[in-house]
Structure 1
Amino acid sequence: MKYRLVKYLLALVTALGFVTSATAQDRPLAIGTLPQGSLGYAIAAGVAQVASANGEMTLRAVGQGGSSVFIPALNRGDFDFATSNAFEAVFATQGSGNFDGQANPNIRVAALLQPFEVGIMVAADSDIRSLEDLKGRPFPVGYARQRLVGVMQQAVFDAAGIDVGELDGVPVPNFVEGAKLLAQGSVAGVMLAPGSGVVRQTHAQRPVRFITVISGEAAAAQVAEALPGSYVGRVEPVERLPEIAEPVDLIGYQYALLTHADADPDTVYAVVKALAENKAALIESHGSFRRFDPAKMAVQVEGSTFHPGAIRFYREAGIWTE
């Protein structure tokens, strides 16, 4: 185990030119995130750019195969920060959901960044209009490197009263591979986030559209119980989202900047302060930050824990509620 960790760190030195640790201030800090092309990576890159430009530190986004890789690395302190979502912070800390039996007790929340929606997209010319229409169709499952996607997928199918076994499951490691299969016509749909680079790339190869995945109050309540802090995210058609052909109800949640318990409090403080005070720069880095609200950076989700460095800033800003 020790040898593998050393080998991993040396690989980071070679490939990225830096080593991550909790306390060093004279080298770039790493933000573990999803692969390039994902909206998660774009958000992490924006955070890195703005925090680097407005604080006494340098950050870099480091794309990984999925949160099942970078969340445990963050828990160990191999990364300084990570981008994910509020309910994954709960799962990771408690050892539930996609981290069932594998608790990562050092995970801490630094900031909530912006609302986010995830749902299922299908080919635009498909006859699929609802989750029911996916029964018997080839559909991505497994998500060995992105178990969270599988957990979200399970939540919406359970809420719709559909046994995942009724799908013709096609094992995939992550949503990127699922999107490739959709573009090829090998699967009927895939779970993704509207507006992401992967969605745009898929749409360019084969036009796609999203379908509603949460229908009715009972389904909404069941999904919210399975995914703490989530809600129904209504997405309306707009010019910049050609994949949204009509209003659809997707899984809504807050995307978050995470850190770990041993991260330097002054560094965490400086990062969240830089973000809170530079919304315009964040929007310039990526348009999704138009939805960023500094007043909501400290909204708490039961089961997750904020880092003391972040709490210090939020108290000074008057937005910490405890």
Structure 2
Amino acid sequence: MFPIVPIYYLVTWLRNKLYDLGIKKSVSYDFPVICVGNLSVGGTGKTPMIEYLIHLLKDEYKVATLSRGYKRKTKGFQLADKNANAASIGDEPFQFFSKFKNDILVAVDSDRRNGIQNLQQNNPDVILLDDAYQHRKVKAGFNVLLTTYANPYFKDIVLPTGNLREPRIGVKRADVIVVTKCPKVLSENEKNDIIKHINPNENQHVFFSSIVYSDCLFSVEKTKMIEEFESFTLVTGIANPKLLVGFLEAKHLNFEHLNFKDHHEFSEQDIDELNKKQLIVTTEKDFMRLKQYDSLKDKLFYLPITVKIDDEPKINKLIKDFVKR
């Protein structure tokens, strides 16, 4: 597939150039719109970053999230309500709604312009765009770009041989660059080396974040400490489960791992197989798709995660200052 790389590069570069020159039009807004996205295909930690921003802003502002709603069964604009589920709005938006439904608005629309226009009828103070970095029809006021420690964008190339959705130069549109999924201990030398490769502009800020796993597992009705699980089946349908597997292995837990592709749609055959398992641990995103099955209710638990950013006061101030402006 490598011979296709230059063609893909040229097409995506030209598309971005047309937007940069104003030949293709981007719509900007007179209220805060924050975009969280990446250059690569999946697995950078957008969902926990959106949740970080929700926690940061929800007590002071009316927050709305707008996602594409990947693999949902509906079309067009959908505003989450009491009837929402993973099939109607997608697993990640349903996760936002399940956790914050009394505090925020959650909407999906593949057309972000149309989604924002519809959300405006509900008068949000700030809109968080989930995975919209390449959606150039909308010009967010503030862009948060994520790239992983294990596979940073500056060591990658564009599709189809690499994982980049657009050329590396796209990083220059970001206001904040967060290197995600870092080791808990990251030396200043390592940070400086990564920053050197990123080569940020004067107006860009680089941060480093790591994943923090909960000590508790949750089901629809129960909460248990992770140490209570002597043997279980781990079910994942995420882009990269390596960190989760490593976390569980470090605790010397006994488990088998059923690894599905990202956003996997569980079939009846899959559910039949899972029904044979005595205890199942999964990610919060996968839990949103699996909890609808009553047969799994008493055996299905998820392990929540949060992100810890190396300089939280600074990034929090940058975000809040933008919203105030």
Shorter chain as denominator, the TM-score bin is: 0.3 to 0.5
Structure 1 or 2: more helix by fraction: 1
Q: Which has the greater radius of gyration? A: 2
